[in-house]
Amino acid sequence: MDCDVIVIGGGPAGLAFARGLASSSLAIVLVERQSLAALAEPADDGREIALTHRSADRLKRLGAWDHIDPTQVAPLSAARVLNGASPFALAFGPAEGCGGRLGQLVSNWRLRRALFAATEGQTSLNIRAGAGVTGLRRSDSGVEVELTDRTRLRARLLVAADSRFSETRARLGIAADICRLGKSMLVVPVEHQRPHDGVALEWFGHGQTIACLPLADPLRSSVVLTLPEDAIARLAMAEPALLAEELSRRSAARLGPLRPLSRPFVYPLATVWSRHFAAPRAALIGDAAVGMHPVTAHGFNLGLLGAATLATRVTAAARSNGDIGAATVLRGYETTHRLAAAPLFAATGAIVRLFTDDRPAARLARPALLRAASLAPVRAGVSRLLARH
């Protein structure tokens, strides 16, 4: 089967990229291991995504925002960062002209469903669901992919969007710095007594990190707890009453006693930085390019940005009758996206190293650094960094 673009991976980045090519008239084949039913109606995975205003605008341009129930969009009015037992909190509020919102939170499964729904009727897109990749070959003129059903696909450009542990990236010979952190993230929706007022809380306690993300209901939040893998595994198996007691204790009952509303979800933590975002006739987007630590809640936004950056360059090349897989197109994407991703990736790594280090020197340094970060020029710089994505 001949086409113009092969996309490996039907997650948010892959779907957003495919949808971003809708006006290009390019023939696209998207390959995804999951079934079509799982793509159309994803299961709830417990994760809540903090969307920036720019990401929401991108979703609107892609036609995905229309498929999200507005009553399930939780306004994010502010964020507060706390350290240990200190009463001081570093606060971030919305910038001028943002309608009183720092951003908004939407469930990951709802975003996936909306992006898939936006692709329905896209005549240039063929989704090969329930298929994996068994082989990949490249030449000067294109790339050939063999699927598990022995179908062979030929295209001018291959785009990998198949997770931070991307098999396609490995097949392309692109190295990546993968850091398995030895910690896991437990995520569970909870009910509480005090309203959250649309404020996200992130508390770096000694030996733990816990976040409370506001949901659409003012008395419901998503709790995200990070601990060593073995501790999270034990907690995930606890009876609901014991889990409720433990989460209430670990959150210092800031919102009152917490009552879990579902079973918890567990995600081992690892960060990924690919040495290159492009190779001859191929590009990486989403987590295949950069797998962010969730502490800044910015991985999804960065994935949308990368998909939009590549789609814009490929569409421009197609409209000028150029080679969409040319080195100049892919180098341009790689340079632009690395410049956008590198500062955020580095800053996130620095935050994680400092605020999860329980040695005495680090614990003494944290309060001073939080107060320094509260200065207006520093907060403005952080806001500008986040506003780019």
Q: Identify the bridge partners of residue 255 per DSSP, sorted by sequence position.
A: none
Of the candidates 61, 15, 57, 20, the residue with the CA atom closest to the CA atom of residue 387: 57
Evaluate if residue 333 carries a pLDDT over 70: yes
Q: Could you tell me the maximum CA-CA distance found in the chain, to the nearest angstrom?
A: 63
How many CB atoms neighbour CB 182 within 10 A?
Answer: 11
Rounded Cα distance, 55 and 70, in Å: 16
Q: What is the pLDDT of residue 298?
A: 87
The pLDDT of residue 351 is: 78
For residue 164, give both structure tokens. Answer: 């931070």
pLDDT of residue 377: 47
Phi, psi of 11, rounded to the nearest 5 degrees: -80, -170
The tokens for 267 are: 């995600």
Looking at residue 95, what DSSP letter applies? P
Separation CA 130–CA 120 (nearest Å): 17
DSSP secondary structure string for all residues of 296-317? GS-HHHHHHHHHHHHHHHHHHH
Q: Copy the structure tokens of residue 374.
A: 């509260």
- Beta-carbon contacts of 124 under 8 Å, excluding residues fewer than 6 positions away, are 21, 22, 24, 25, 26, 27, 28
Q: Residue 30 pLDDT > 50, yes or no?
A: yes
CATH class (in words) of the domain with range 5-178+270-387: alpha beta
pLDDT at 348: 86
Residue 200: HSE in the Cβ half-sphere, 13 Å Cα cutoff: 27
pLDDT at 178 over 90: yes
Rounded-to-integer distance, Cα 262 and Cα 190, Å? 8
Closest CA to 284 of 127, 174, 141: 174
Note the pLDDT of residue 367. 65
pLDDT confidence band for 356 (50 / 70 / 90): confident
pLDDT grade, residue 219 (50/70/90)? very high
